[in-house]
Amino acid sequence: MKGDISELMQQAQNMQAELKKAQDELATAEVQGEAGAGLVCVVMTGRHDIKRVSIDDSVFLEDKEVLEDLLAAAVNDAVRKVEARNRDAMSGLASGLNLPAGFKMPF
What's the rounded Cα separation, in Å, for the pair 5 and 75? 47
Three-class SS state of 28: helix
CATH class of 29-95: alpha beta
Q: If pLDDT is split at 50, 70 and 90, which confidence band does 80 have?
A: very high
CB 8 within 8 A of CB 39: no
Dihedral (C-alpha) 21, 24, 26, 32: value to the nearest 10 degrees?
Answer: -150
Q: What is the pLDDT of residues 21-68, one digit of tens each?
A: 888 888 999 999 999 999 999 999 999 999 999 999 999 999 999 999
Per cent of the chain over pLDDT 90 is: 55
Output the pLDDT for position 88. Answer: 87
This prediction's pTM:
0.75
Distance (Å, whole) CA 63 – CA 75: 19
Delimit the domains of the chain by residue range.
29-95
Q: So what's the pLDDT on residue 106?
A: 55
